[in-house]
Amino acid sequence: MFDRFPEPAADALHAVMARFRADPRPHKIDLGVGVYRDETGASPIMAAVREAELWLAQSGDTKAYQALAGDHAFVDAMSALVFGNAHAAVGEGRLAAIQGTGGTGALRIAMDLATIAAPGARLHLGVPSWPNHQALAEASGLEVVTHPYVDVASQAIDYESIVAAAGGARAGDLFILHGPCHNPTGADLSREQRLELLGMLGERGAIPLIDAAYYGLGDGLEQDLKVVQEMAAAAPRAFIAVACSKSFGLYRERTGILFAVAQSSAERDRVQGQMEKASRTLVSMPPAHGAAAVARVLSEPSLRSSWEEELAEMRARMLAIRAELAALSNQAPMLAGIERQRGIFRMLPLTAEQTEGLGRDHAIHMPQSGRINLAGLKSGDAPRLADALAEVTA
């Protein structure tokens, strides 16, 4: 059978990583893979996470399997972080939760449940979006229906198309809505737009699938989580996938959680059971280390304070980079408005040939889609990027 496998398509981001590694120029810039980087270009272990891991190494006494729902301390701590004590945002008894293998694993469980509950269900996806959204949906057997989200050339959200897509959603369909810091555009819907869309989906029996991966990197931790809370409270039913990769720096530990907002406690119990059943066939039992570290950070006051301070510093760095690039928009007009967006990403209206030219002639490496990770810029890099953009688009 192996000889019948088709040749796999190359992964665009891994291709960027390979080109960057192979580039011998000392001034090279990596704007590819979406991980946070500090001023030195490193993706550091957060101080609170490091302390939590040291504590775990000294106090841990087992490597036995966890429960199907995951680390209960992690689930409780993340529930309190995202929704407040006693699940105030959605009401007691309506929230099901299960640990996922990163945000990716959480999204996959939600999509698998959609195919179980509503055979023939579709996933409505605004594009551009995170490429894995479509791949996960197709792997789950969902039909993917796309609609425009942002016009990259103008950087304007195509709200009219998003509303039309919500109006065409059917009962049982999933509809992707991003939490703060849209990946890959950085362009977020307004509060009024989010609430209007959630109302439309609720009327049609469609289920919003809220992907929250960058909380704390937008307008601040409290403000970003309030966005998620308001979205959950406005939906009669919803899935919310929350990743710990970016906000805790736990990329390789694959730590995340899936929440489901049900209409009643009885419905919540059924959803909880189905989530655990789906996870059992995907990963059997969820991984322990990252979840235990997050639980420790969130439950120990000094570590919680340290984490929030470092997360705020990361956010401040991203805002400073955006401000610096915005000041260069006369030189590179495609950078205009970048200060109004949030998170680590921006989509640039570049052709494949132009992105290749940036890598070849300027040692600036990015995917052909034009998505750049702003955290890849170090001190002095912004003017170089603006100069290079002006040259390749002249």
* Number of C-beta neighbours around residue 76 at 10 A: 14
In degrees, rounded to 5, the angle at the alpha carbon of residue 68 between the alpha carbons of residues 62 and 73 is 60
Say yes or no to pLDDT of 161 above 90: yes
Q: Looking at residue 87, what is its pLDDT?
A: 62
pLDDT in tens, 137-155: 999 999 999 999 999 999 9
Rounded to two decimals, the pTM is: 0.96
pLDDT in tens, 102-133: 999 999 999 999 999 999 999 999 999 999 99
pLDDT in tens, 193-226: 999 999 999 999 999 999 999 999 999 999 999 9
Say yes or no to pLDDT of 88 above 70: no
- Dihedral angle of Cα 196, 202, 207, 211, to the nearest 10 degrees: 30
Mean of pLDDT values over 232-238: 95
Q: Amino acid identity, residue 51? A: E
Secondary structure of 289-330 in HEC code, one letter for each residue: HHHHHHHHHHHCHHHHHHHHHHHHHHHHHHHHHHHHHHCCCC
Task: Assign 3-state DSSP to the chain and report helix, strand, coil percentages, each to 5.
Answer: 50, 15, 35
Q: Looking at residue 98, what is its pLDDT?
A: 98
pLDDT in tens, 37-78: 999 999 999 999 999 999 999 999 999 999 999 999 999 999
What values do phi and psi take at 165, rounded to 5? -65, -45
pLDDT in tens, 310-346: 999 999 999 999 999 999 999 999 999 999 999 999 9
Say yes or no to pLDDT of 4 above 90: yes
Give, rounded to a whole angstrom, the gap between the first and last alpha carbons of the chain.
51
* Number of C-beta neighbours around residue 110 at 10 A: 28
Question: Which of 312, 299, 300, 301 is closest to 224 using CA atoms?
Answer: 312
Mean of pLDDT values over 154-183: 98
Q: Looking at residue 8, what is its pLDDT?
A: 85
Q: Name the E strands within the chain.
A: 29-30, 95-101, 122-127, 143-148, 150-151, 156-157, 174-178, 207-212, 238-243, 255-261, 345-347, 364-365, 371-373
**pLDDT band for position 13 (cuts 50, 70, 90):** confident
Q: Looking at residue 187, what is its pLDDT?
A: 98
Could you give the residue numbers annotated as active site?
130, 211, 213, 246
Q: Amino acid identity, residue 116? A: I
Say yes or no to pLDDT of 254 above 70: yes
d(CA 89, CA 229): 5
Q: Looking at residue 17, what is its pLDDT?
A: 87
Question: Which of 205, 178, 207, 200 is closest to 190 using CA atoms?
Answer: 178
* Number of C-beta neighbours around residue 47 at 10 A: 14
Q: Looking at residue 104, what is its pLDDT?
A: 98
| Helical ranges in 254-300 per DSSP H | 265-283, 289-299
Q: Looking at residue 89, what is its pLDDT?
A: 66
d(CA 241, CA 228): 10
Is the CB of residue 47 less than 8 Å from the CB of residue 306? yes
**pLDDT band for position 86 (cuts 50, 70, 90):** low
Q: Looking at residue 311, what is its pLDDT?
A: 98
pLDDT in tens, 261-306: 999 999 999 999 999 999 999 999 999 999 999 999 999 999 999 9
Say yes or no to pLDDT of 381 above 90: yes
